[in-house]
Amino acid sequence: MNIEKIIDIAKKRGFIFQSAEIYGGLSGFFDYGPLGTIMKNKIENFWREFFVKSENNIFEISSRTIAPEPVWQASGHLKDFVDPITQCRSCKSMFRADNLIEEATGKFVEGTKADELTKIIKENRIKCPKCKGTLSDVRIFNLMLKTNVGPVEGTNAYLRPETAQGIFTNFKNILNSTRAKLPFGVAQIGISYRNEISPRQWIMRLREFNQMEIEFFFNPKKPEYPNFSEIAKKKLKIVTREEQKKSGKAVEMTAEDAIEKQIIPNQWMVYFMLKELDWYQQLGLPVEVLRHRHMLPEETPHYSKGNFDMEIKFDFGWKEVVGNAYRTDFDLQTHMKHSGKDLAVAEDGEKIVPHVIEPSFGLDRTFYGILLHCFVEDKKRGWDWFKFPAKIAPYIAAVYPLVSKDGLPEKAKEIFNSLKGCFGVFYDEAGSIGKRYARADEIGTNYCITIDYQTLKDNTVTVRDRDSTKQIRVEFKKLPEIIWKLTNKEIEFEKAGKLLKD
């Protein structure tokens, strides 16, 4: 897995750029280029289809990224949204103390108190990784980014560190406007900010990043997922708390076992965990690089009845991409207390403060995972390429005239224009056909459509399949239907037209 190669291609072909690069950039900020933006939008839309539109009780909202101080006092972020920090006494570099210790000793210390971390640094004689200088005592650093809204002194406000709070603060409005009945969910896709101490690993830990979150509300007296029997035998791979102390390996278990053994505390939670496992596989990630980890008690917030991180195996190891949390009624209760507003729901003649299951997806980490696991290093072909599934590939097809003369570009443009409204397609006539195939493969284009002299006679074109490099001959009028069927896996490529000899 060659991440440096992928980062190079991502820049060269317009997926990811360092923000403000011409001014030296700013650590923890990256921009999506033209192809990256198409793909990011497709991932968001696919998430929306899969997790929101396919359900009839999940609503999407779009709340603001800035909220006033009282919101963050109520949510606990001003007090508790902290990381341990240590500074090199010589070069003054700052480090997240728990990460530094983990890298130096291999011990997992997330959630450990500052005093204890200082002790571990001293006992293990851990030095500054940059200059080998001595490290300061560990202190606590709040990750919230503050701003000031309005002229002169203004009002203290903060950039949101999660989209979730916009859902909780709008809870009553959503309930009243939709007349939703429990159980129901509220989804949100948007940007969050965290003043991370040491942003790193490309787009893995950022200061501005994209989240896709669902807060799913249910009556705690009716915690069952109604169709549980349909998913009971489906399997999850979980690194249990017990295994984290032993092998660190994931254990395969069925949904019903996970509930019966009280490993996962709630059926809705299992439902979302299975669904996200399916979603990531449809994004092109093999099941072997996906797993869930039960967070240890010291990492789990005091109000949570259980947190399960969905992890992807990256080039540097396993890392969280989705945080699944059983947040109980903590958020609604705390906002009721601080705002003085009643956020309870009336059900069966009772007032209920709903419980919440939250699957929280990181889009940028998902993007990293897709680039990494769809990347094919191909010596035989002579170039490397991305095996993106059609639903997220920046372009489904490229349209090429075989040569730039004899009326072929005109015919190719006519075909290109007729296909533009059907699916993502681009036109290219520069360079040899081989070079154009290579360029299309490199950005993960599923099919290349070539217009040649034969096309002028009988309106047929060749279609080349990215994955097999095989070619078929089809009537160009049938292209929208054929490409639709191919991308929906309704027909095999070789049977979609007349197969040409290699």
Q: Give the nearest residue (CB) to ligand GAP.
A: 362
Q: Which is nearer to ligand GAP, 267 or 360 (CB)?
A: 360
Considering the rule CB under 6 A, would residue 320 count as an interface residue with ligand GAP?
Answer: yes
Provide, rounded to whole angstroms, the least separation between the CB of residue 300 and ligand GAP. Answer: 11
Q: Which is nearer to ligand GAP, 101 or 363 (CB)?
A: 363
Provide, rounded to whole angstroms, the least separation between the CB of residue 424 and ligand GAP. Answer: 26
Considering the rule CB under 6 A, would residue 356 count as an interface residue with ligand GAP?
Answer: no
Contacts 24+ apart (CB under 8 A), 464-468: 464/437, 465/493, 466/385, 466/387, 466/440, 466/441, 467/387, 468/493
Provide, rounded to whole angstroms, the least separation between the CB of residue 491 and ligand GAP. Answer: 36
Considering the rule CB under 6 A, would residue 285 count as an interface residue with ligand GAP?
Answer: no
Considering the rule CB under 6 A, would residue 322 count as an interface residue with ligand GAP?
Answer: yes
Q: Exposed (0-12), middle (13-18) or buried (19+): which is 263, by Cβ within 10 Å?
A: buried
Residues 193, 158 contacting (CB under 8 angstroms)? no
Size, binding site for ligand GAP by CB under 6 A: 18
SS (H, E, C) 35-92: HHHHHHHHHHHHHHHHHHHCCCCEEEECCCCEEEHHHHHHHCHHHHCEEEEEEECCCC
**Kind of pairing, strands 471-475 and 385-386?**
unpaired
Residues numbered 172 to 211 that lie near ligand GAP (CB under 6 A) are: 194, 196, 205-206, 209, 211
Element (H, E) at 30: strand 30-32
Q: Which is nearer to ligand GAP, 120 or 370 (CB)?
A: 370
Q: Which is nearer to ligand GAP, 201 or 418 (CB)?
A: 201
Provide, rounded to whole angstroms, the least separation between the CB of residue 325 and ligand GAP. Answer: 6
Residues 481, 422 contacting (CB under 8 angstroms)? no
Helices (H) and strands (E) in the chain, counts: 18, 27
Residues numbered 364 to 403 that lie near ligand GAP (CB under 6 A) are: 364-365
Q: Which is nearer to ligand GAP, 325 or 396 (CB)?
A: 325
Provide, rounded to whole angstroms, the least separation between the CB of residue 218 and ligand GAP. Answer: 17
Question: Looking at 6, 74, 255, 321, which residue binds ligand GAP (CB under 6 A)?
Answer: 321
Q: Which is nearer to ligand GAP, 309 or 452 (CB)?
A: 309
Considering the rule CB under 6 A, would residue 359 count as an interface residue with ligand GAP?
Answer: no
SS (H, E, C) 226-247: CCHHHHCCCEEEEECHHHHHCC
Q: Which is nearer to ligand GAP, 198 or 454 (CB)?
A: 198
**Kind of pairing, strands 139-142 and 82-87?**
antiparallel
Q: Residue 186 is encoded by which pair of tokens?
A: 């509220």
Q: Residue 129 is encoded by which pair of tokens?
A: 């990784």
**Rounded distance between C-alpha atoms, residue 95 and residue 197, angstroms:** 6
Considering the rule CB under 6 A, would residue 328 count as an interface residue with ligand GAP?
Answer: no
Nearest to 223 by CA among 186, 188, 176, 271: 271
Provide, rounded to whole angstroms, the least separation between the CB of residue 140 and ligand GAP. Answer: 17
Residues numbered 111 to 170 that lie near ligand GAP (CB under 6 A) are: 162, 164
Q: Which is nearer to ligand GAP, 203 or 425 (CB)?
A: 203
Quote the crossing angle between the two packed helices 408-419 and 479-487, to the nearest 10°. Answer: 60
Binding site for ligand GAP (CB under 6 A): 162, 164, 194, 196, 205-206, 209, 211, 213, 320-323, 358, 360, 362, 364-365
